[in-house]
Amino acid sequence: MSANGATKKDLRKAMESLQIENAGLKFQIDQFKKYQLSFDIYFPGEIGAGLRSYSDKVTISCESGQWGGEPNEFCEYIRGCLAEWYDGASVALIH
């Protein structure tokens, strides 16, 4: 028995419960990632023009997982929008 009165059996049961909860959380996170599009943004810069290089990551999520349209249509549309927004930068989908 520990100082707070818990037995090894109680502690083992609590640990099993935590493992089950963590497994459920991992499953939820993995399921959520299926409904995300992540893009790398990279601009190498133009020193002569006084433009510094930069990079960023943009992630878009869809709770329902139903992007609509033809396969990859939404992804390409968003990539094009980001390329236009980050003028001159490369925009790549992260798999």
SS3 30: helix
Q: pTM here? A: 0.60
51 - beta bridge partners? 46
- What's the average model confidence in pLDDT over 1-22? 61
- Kindly tell me if the per-residue pLDDT of 41 is higher than 70: yes
What does the domain layout of the chain look like in residue ranges?
1-34, 35-95
Handedness of CA 20, 62, 37, 87 (dihedral sign): negative
Q: For 43-92, write each residue's pLDDT tens digit.
A: 998 888 888 999 999 999 888 878 888 888 999 999 999 999 998 899 99
Residue-level pLDDT at 47: 87
pLDDT of 66 reads 81
Could you give the CA distance from residue 53 to residue 36 in angstroms, rounded to a whole number? Answer: 26
Helix (H, G, I), strand (E, B) or coil at 3: coil
Distance CA 19, CA 8 (A): 16
